[in-house]
Structure 1
Amino acid sequence: MNIRIEQLQEQDATTLFEFECNNRDFFERIIASRGNDYYVYENYEQILKELIAEQTRGESYFHLIKDDSNKIIGRVNLVNIDKINRTGEVGYRIGEEYGGRGIATKALSLMLKETEYYGVDELRAMVTHHNPASQHVLSKNNFVKLHTDKNAIEFNGEKYDLVHFKWRRT
């Protein structure tokens, strides 16, 4: 499947909201919920405006993963950018029906190519130990495992280890 990443824009509000709502149950099985308010469109529009303002300031860069038909199938984001140290954090999520097809691996690879433009030379990522697919995505994109924090987060009443990764431009 051919994919591309596009920087988030205000005109994406409706289709991105639909993507998030359609995948809410799936995402909440693997990561913490964003809460009910996130899924109220008026609130979502305000959140989106704040994200775009953050993007305009160069603090974060939010991207939509789209297929050939222009459908949103996931997201990949650079956040917590430190312009002085040229570092940031990366995160991604793929819609339930698109998992297991290598889309996250491709999207992250595309994002890594953008990091030079964004002035970022080093990225960090954190993944729960119960998400080996996401760890595999990072490894395939030359992220190196740094360490694991035992019982670092609580999710749905259970404690999970948090695995830390790092990527550096060579």
Structure 2
Amino acid sequence: MKKTIIIRQATELDLDDILQFEFCNRDWFGQFLTEEELSLETKDHLKQHLSNNLKGLFYLVFSPDGMLIGRFNVQPLSGKSQALEVSYRIAKECNNRGIARYVLKRLLLLWSSYGVEEIYAQVAGHNNASIKVLISCGFQISEIPKNNINFESAMHDSFVFRWSAIGHSSFHLDPPHKG
């Protein structure tokens, strides 16, 4: 039997695993997220999200042996019906294995089956891995805000990507790379 990763929606019971995942990968994520974004990963903030007090969903990605290796967050965009914003994080040791692409393609199918028409993602201009993932999943650059991400070292440009359900009724769903 082939071992595969597990993707499921997070619950409050996952809070400690998510906090541990964030703690273990903080330096890695800090290369692509601002200190402000990283500081939001507190027990209280995550608990609000997981208890559905805030609109949005967390999807967790587990290795075949049950280790949390990634998470995908999605929230509705205000002012745009049938539109979401997605963000994601994959553990450093699982980078460059195709996991983000594998999971995102499946989530895009799920969300479009619920009637979502557009999905947006914003990434730092130097986050080449995420840029590659988004493009391979059918996202296109919709804008390039200049100097809008403030890392401690300097201001950076970002890319806003847009995915449209129109024209994406099917995907070629490759398995993630073995590694």
TM-score range, shorter chain: 0.7 to 0.9
Q: Which amino acid aligns with 1:50?
A: Q
TM-score by length of 1: 0.86
- Contact 1:60–1:79 under 8 Å retained in 2: yes
- Contact 1:83–1:119 under 8 Å retained in 2: no
Q: Which amino acid aligns with 2:97?
A: R
Q: Which amino acid aligns with 2:48?
A: E
Distance in 2, matches of 1:60 and 1:137, equals 22
Distance in 1, matches of 2:156 and 2:108, equals 27
C-alpha change, 1:83 and 1:119, in structure 2 (3 Å) is farther
Of 152, 155, 169, which aligns to 1:159? 155
Let me know the Cα RMSD of the aligned residues. 2.1
Q: How do 1:16-165 residues align onto structure 2 when only pairs under 5 Å count? A: 16-33=18-35, 34-35=38-39, 38=41, 43-44=42-43, 46-54=44-52, 59-82=55-78, 85-165=81-161
C-alpha change, 1:12 and 1:83, in structure 2 (3 Å) is farther
C-alpha change, 1:3 and 1:83, in structure 2 (3 Å) is farther
Q: Count how many residue pairs are aligned between Structure 1 and Structure 2.
A: 162
CA displacement at 1:15 relative to structure 2: 1.5
User: Identical aligned pairs, as a percentage?
Assistant: 31
Q: Which residue of 2 aligns with 1:8?
A: 10
CA displacement at 1:118 relative to structure 2: 4.3
Q: Secondary structure at the residue paired with 2:51? A: helix
Distance in 1, matches of 2:102 and 2:149, equals 28
TM-score by length of 2: 0.82
Q: Secondary structure at the residue paired with 1:151? A: coil
- Contact 1:3–1:107 under 8 Å retained in 2: no
Structure number with higher strand proportion: 1
- Contact 1:60–1:81 under 8 Å retained in 2: no
5+ residue gaps, structure 1, are: none
CA displacement at 1:84 relative to structure 2: 6.6
Structure number with higher helix proportion: 1
- Contact 1:76–1:92 under 8 Å retained in 2: yes
